[in-house]
Amino acid sequence: MTLLIKDNIKYKYLSFEEMIISLDRLSRFKPPEDTYPRVFYSIISKCLINPKFSKTEMESLPAEDVAKYVKNIWNNSVEKLWGIKTLKNHNANIALKLSSELSFKNTDPKTKIFIETDLNISPILEHIKSESIPINLKYLIKANSFNNINKDNLYYLRENFSLKFPIKKLIIVEGITEEILLPVFAAKLKEDFNKFGIYILGAGGKSKSPSLYLKLKDKLNIPVIMLFDKDAKEICDILQSKIREQDKIILLSNGEFEDILSTNLIKRTLNNEYDLSEPINKSDLKIHSRMCENLEDFYRTRNLGEFKKAKFSKLIADNIKYETDISIDIRNLINDIIRG
């Protein structure tokens, strides 16, 4: 265990990997009140040996004290790894702060102090080599190497390098099908959600979408589009009176998202992915009015196990090849999301 003892404070150093995880959490699209306290308290809990605080004591500490502990632990960990004592490049820090401010408002005073903490994050970004890192870290890496960071330059980087951040528009969807397929269909239409700063957030069901929206709406600086299946009309009618002027509800007119998929695309996907003794026909997908019922029947009668939307959506995504695979309803929906 490597320890630093200084001014009667004893703590463990953070590893390179631990700092990457912390940066990943700080840069995700979440209200800063959710991310910064979690990361800062985690660093203190994991590293600070003396003085030692319980969870309750730690959360009761003045924000300035928490920030001071975290800054010492973080910056001294960077110095131990690379011998860098001072923060010379503030670009990534500015990008992190600006991205949060552009997406979220009404940040509480404690979290503002955490956000302003001068963590030396530039050397960490310079030493990340993996191409498989999350896109929220990629935008920080790009900002870190840019000459001057301000709001306009962040937008420039996002649009020119397809970096998604800062987020410009939030799309709340009911489930995993829309999360997986909307960006793929958009890409096939040569529309890049990352370039436009569009973030898709799955609520986990139509009944959860309103509460998720109501929880976020007063914290957001960006517009929101909520996408619902046709059977959520009553929910939409109630929610309509509670949404902000810049926000919008889209109600699918033809059932669920699976109902607006091209039947040819579904047929080709199933025939390509499964070794069927008898290929599926379009007529097999028109027995019931809901496509999900047809798919559930197909999986059951062909002994393919349970129909799972997430797995099916990934199969569909892998089999989109032609412009005709994208229905008019999906084209209109993507246009509405980008330009509506």
In tens, the pLDDT along 43-52 reads 999 999 989 9
Q: pLDDT value at position 85?
A: 81
| Angle of the 328-339 helix axis to the 176-188 helix axis, nearest 10 | 90
Do 208 and 153 contact (CB within 8 A), yes or no? no
Spatial separation of the C-alpha atoms in residues 270 and 85, rounded to whole Å: 58
Q: What digits encode the pLDDT tens for the residues 209-223?
A: 999 999 999 999 999
205: left (phi over 0), alpha (psi -120 to 50) or beta: left
- pLDDT at residue 3, rounded to an integer: 60
**β 48-50/9-12 pair status:** antiparallel
pLDDT of residue 36: 98
Query: What is the DSSP secondary-structure string of 176-242?
Result: HHHHHHHHHHHHHTT--HHHHTEEEEE-SSTTTHHHHHHHHGGGBSS-EEEEE-GGGHHHHHHHHTT
Domain-wise residue ranges, the chain:
3-139, 169-257, 260-328
Phi, psi of 97 (to 5 degrees): -70, -45
Q: What does the pLDDT average to over 22-38? A: 97
Asked if 243 and 217 touch (Cβ cutoff 8 Å), the reply is yes
* Radius of gyration of the chain measured on its C-alpha atoms: 24
> Quick one: three-class SS letters along 52-113?
CCCHHHHHHCCHHHHHHHHHHHHHHHHHHHHCCCCCCCCHHHHHHHHHHHHHECCCCHHHHH
pLDDT of residue 198: 98
Encode pLDDT of 89-120 as tens digits.
999 999 999 999 999 999 999 999 999 999 99
Determine the average pLDDT of the residues in 224-243: 95
Amino acid at 332: N
Q: Which of 78, 97, 100 is nearest to 19 (CA)?
A: 78
Q: Tell me: pLDDT of 1 over 60.
A: no
Q: In what order do the strands lie in the sheet with 3-6?
A: 3-6, 9-12, 48-50
pLDDT score at 104: 97
Enter the tokens of residue 314: 């990934």
Dump pLDDT digits (tens) for 145-203.
998 999 999 999 999 999 999 999 999 999 999 999 999 999 999 999 999 999 999 99
- Contact between 36 and 74 under an 8 Å Cβ cutoff? The reply is no
Q: What contacts 181, CB < 8 A, 6 or more positions away?
A: 257, 261, 313, 316, 317
